[in-house]
Structure 1
Amino acid sequence: MTYLKYEVLRVLRNGAFTGYTVGFPVGFYLLFTVVFDQSPVGGSAFDAYYMVSMALYGAIGTALTGVGAPIAMERSKGWTRQLALTPLRPGRYLLIKIAAASVLSLPAILAILLCGKLIHRVDLDLGTWLALVPALWVGALPFVGLGIAIGYTFRDESAQGVALAAYFLMSVAGGLWMPTVAFPAWLAKVSEVLPTYRAGELSWRLIAGESPFSGGALILAAWTVAFLGLAAWRFRRAS
């Protein structure tokens, strides 16, 4: 718990990281919802729909860039070898990274939900507001596994670049930057198999008054297993 506390504090003190994972999604949300007048999407007001999209976008950014790049940097600088001399075992180090990324995804989620409520007066019942936080948090968890796999495959700046590329491409193609109804038919079909789209679907269904559990949830679960399996394999190889 001590190492976890220091890990979380270390990241929170990094103003650039906090600005990127919280400030950018909040800025995008305000830009696209204040400047542009958008029609409802999937039975939900655009303000509410895009609030969910940007909250997930910020949480995924934390999961990917908050795990992969730090692991790669600590490996290249010899910090993981130094930790091997302490009672902290490699598996526990990995669990701390996962826990830290999970905790650090909450500020982005809460900040954007707060913007939706206070600025756009997004009208949802209390049960939906309370359900959105765990739904968005669970939706971002698979990307922690992908971040770990990247961190144990690439080094330093390469890991950061790969994580950012995956983040950007999957977010755009998965319908987080713009609804998939605006996509060409072929791209909309591609987006339906991406984990970003299925993660967003959990919360999009919630704000539409539907159950979040559907066939899409099973696809997201399959991606979660695949990413965690890839992370475990790369971790064993690196260790």
Structure 2
Amino acid sequence: MNTIKTEVKNRILYITIDRATKLNALNKETLADLSSIVKSLYTDESVGGAIITGDGPKAFVAGADISEFSSFSIEQGQQLAANGHESVFDLIENSPKPVIAAINGFALGGGLELAMACHLRIASDNAKLGLPEVTLGLIPGYGGTQRLTQLVGKAKALEMILTADMITADEAKTLGLVNHVTTQDELIAKCEELLTKMLSRAPLAIGAAISVINDFYHKDKNGFKAEIEAFGKLFGTEDFKEGTQSFLEKRKANFTGK
């Protein structure tokens, strides 16, 4: 892949968007590469979760590559957004394996939308976050209007989107937009700490929790009913038997994801 570097270590898939000279802006090729990588995350049994970051010290992802769509028609614009939702952003959000965004610098436009599609967001203290699309005569098109509202509430989402202002990492943490703020040097280590802890838990239960929590935000789904069904199904797993038995035997559980 020309736009993304990957590495697997200790069951963690490291995904680095490798366009530092363009501040890691998302272009068509990058989105296609991301889609392919996230699909592999679903099926690769050697990997339990992923960390997504951007190359270099300046940016996570500083937006989309505007030159690629500046002459698009209405239909092309709608298709651009629809394809992004289906092939990348929704795919990340619905991954049964946890995905953490390591925000190392600017996370703007499509970059912030990418981070918001991840399950957790950890930011370095130099990070700046925002959705500046209205300065281009657009609105966020990769789920930004919806996910930002879910994370920070209607009033703050409106303020950020309508003013196009950036916020600092500390303000983002106060708003609940990011989970933790660290130094740049400690950013990946903090993500590894959190993800390693998740990987020590029962994989099927982790996936079920992600799915049921996501159901809360779907108007056509009953999250309480989904929780009951998922809770019951987990009683039929080997991980449930191992988890309860290890608890009773006062030993560490050895989960297999079965």
Q: TM-score, normalised by structure 1?
A: 0.30
Between Structure 1 and Structure 2, whose CA radius of gyration is higher? 2
Larger RCO (CA under 8 A, 6+ residues apart): 1
Instruction: Flag the structure with higher strand content.
Output: 2
Q: TM-score, normalised by structure 2?
A: 0.28
